[in-house]
Amino acid sequence: MRVFVTGGSGFVGGHVIEALRSDGHEVHALARSPSSASRVAAFGATPVIGALGEIKPDAIRDCDAVVHAAAHVASWGPWEDFAQINIEGTRQLVAAARAAGVGRFVHIGTEAALFAGQDLVDVDESYPHPKRQRFAYSRSKAEAEKLVLAADDVAGMRTVVLRPRLVWGPRDASVGAAVERMGKDGTWIWLDGGRHRTSTCHVDNLCSAVGAALAADTGGRTYFIADDGERSLRQFLSAIAAARGLSLPDRSVPGWVARTVAAVLDIAWRTIGRVTPPPLVPFEISMMSASITVRTGRARAELGWRPVRTVADGLEALRTGPVHNPHERP
């Protein structure tokens, strides 16, 4: 299969390219710059120079599938930035893929599309989008997945949305990097003692779900993807820190206090026109003071998907270096 990947120079997209190549697929990847082109080539893809929102059908004319992993992943900023990339970029890519005759479109979504500050406990795909979405990232990702699902066509392009929760693993530049940075500089602090429960998704498990979605014959469906089991944020993030040789301090503040301060700072920052995020960001604070756990039964039943990496195995790999790639052919 020839697959076109967006976001291939990033954490998730790079792993997706490597997994697809290991499975014998030919991969072409969007690259906005020479440095991005070098990165996707190193992962095993043929670079296609261009930008999200400006992809011509001819660029993907001979591709069997698209895996859309590119997104504006930020916790704060102007709505226009989120809308341009996450919504309009997805809209244009869907239209280009349809015009090019692509048969399958897999969109990397997020459970954050359902998040407006509330707990999401043991939720499945029947859980509705909130009527009012407080966060720009959540709103934009919800609109993007609606566009993808609406484009499903039994006689044409089939579309699937995968929603991983808290993706982690080698080369993680978000969760793991933040834990390491704040652990080293002494600014780490728990909210509510880190007691809130969470599902997680090792990047290898997400990549195996991408492969399953490409091989399946279903369309117009959303699937949660997560590691087996759940754990508290304190258990998981402490383990991530330990894998990097760090010990996180015990300091904690009540979540409601942090949310209140973050809301006040957000108003102040926007009022004075600051372009850099405030020290406490409402989306991040809300995520860290909520329980978010998801069910993966639909992916298991309809895609035949199962996790290929345990949490213990993934943590050991972070401590000691790479272990056997579950996607690699013998």
Q: Looking at the annotation, which residues are catalytic? A: 137
Please, are residues 297 and 324 in contact by the beta-carbon 8 Å criterion? no
- Please say whether the beta carbons of 33 and 182 come within 8 A: no
Is residue 189 within 8 Å of 252, Cβ to Cβ?
yes
Centre a 10 Å sphere on the Cβ of residue 249 and count the other Cβ atoms it contains: 12
Other Cβ atoms less than 10 A from the Cβ of 42: the count is 12
SS3 146: helix
Show the tokens assigned to 228: 């087996």
Cβ contact 325:43 at 8 Å: no
CA-wise closest residue to 298 among 232, 213, 231: 213
Q: How many residues comprise the chain?
A: 330
Catalogue the E-assigned strands of 32-92: 46-49, 65-68
Distance CA 205, CA 199 (A): 13
DSSP 60-108: GTT-SEEEE------SSS-HHHHIIIIIIHHHHHHHHHHHTT-SEEEEE
Cα–Cα distance, 4 to 63 (Å, whole number): 6
Query: With b meaning 16 or more CB within 10 Å and e meaning fewer, what string describes 213-237?
Result: bbebeebebbbbbbbeebbebbebb
- CA–CA distance, 27 with 19 (Å, rounded to integer): 10
Rounded to whole angstroms, the Cα distance separating 311 from 317 reads: 10
Separation in Å, CA 114 to CA 109, 165, 230: 11, 11, 19
